[in-house]
Every structure is written in C-alpha cells, then in structure tokens.
Amino acid sequence: MQLSKEILGETLVVTVLDERIDAAVALQFKEAIRQATELPSPRVVLNMINVKFVDSSGLGAIVGSMKQLDSERSFELSGLTGAVEKVFHLTRMDTIFTIHASLDEAIDA
C-alpha cells in the first residue's frame, strides 16, 4: 500500500497512491495510515483522488483508520472518484465522514 503524506498548515494530508482499497490490502492500508498519522496534527485529510475502487473490506479499513485516531483529531476525506463516492453514499458512510470534493476544498475548509 503506497501513501504519501505532507503537512499543510495544521492539516496532515495523506494521499493514497494505489487505485484500490480492497480485501487484499485492507490490513496493510490500516497499518500504513496508523504510521502516517503518527505525525501530530489536529486534522487528517485522506486524499483518495487516485482510488478507483473500494470494497467492503476497504471501507471497513477506512472506518477503522478513523477510529485509530484520538477523539480530538478530525479524519476527513477528499477527492472521491465516482465509483468510490457511490459506495460511500450507498452505505451511508457519507453521513459519518466529512467529504470534500477536492483537496483544495478540504484545505480551505
């Protein structure tokens, strides 16, 4: 699982570089997010602009990643592509996460 991370102001941006978050990489994804979020920041934005597919295991890994954070830290999503956005809508996870259309929108929020 490939991720990149950068601090923009008070926001830690973690960008998923892979195209899929599914059962094959769900555990690796959670561990990679845990390591990436060791950097202190009050806000984490998971930039999913490269992700084209998320299955139920991947969705569970994203939820699990949010739950790994301290309650004072926000975990937001940005850049959901059409199919991925549909999964979040159909599972009503769009009511759990703050979702931004783009990384720029997330940073400006």
Closest to 45 in 3D by CA, of 84, 70, 8, 89: 8
Q: State the pLDDT at residue 1.
A: 87
Strand pairing category for 74-78 and 43-47? parallel
H-helix or E-strand spanning residue 104: helix 103-108
Q: Is the pTM of this model over 0.85?
A: yes
| Cα gap 57→41, rounded to integer Å | 27
Cβ atoms of 20 and 56 within 8 Å: the answer is no
Cβ atoms of 41 and 12 within 8 Å: the answer is yes
Domain extent at residue 67: 3-108
H-helix or E-strand spanning residue 47: strand 43-47
CATH of the domain at 58: 3.30.750.24
Helix axes 56-68, 26-36, angle to 10 degrees: 20
Q: State the pLDDT at residue 109.
A: 87
User: How do the pLDDT tens digits run along the chain, 109 residues long?
Assistant: 899 999 999 999 999 999 999 999 999 999 999 999 998 899 999 999 999 999 999 999 999 999 999 989 999 999 999 999 999 999 999 999 999 999 999 999 8
Q: How many domains does the chain have?
A: 1
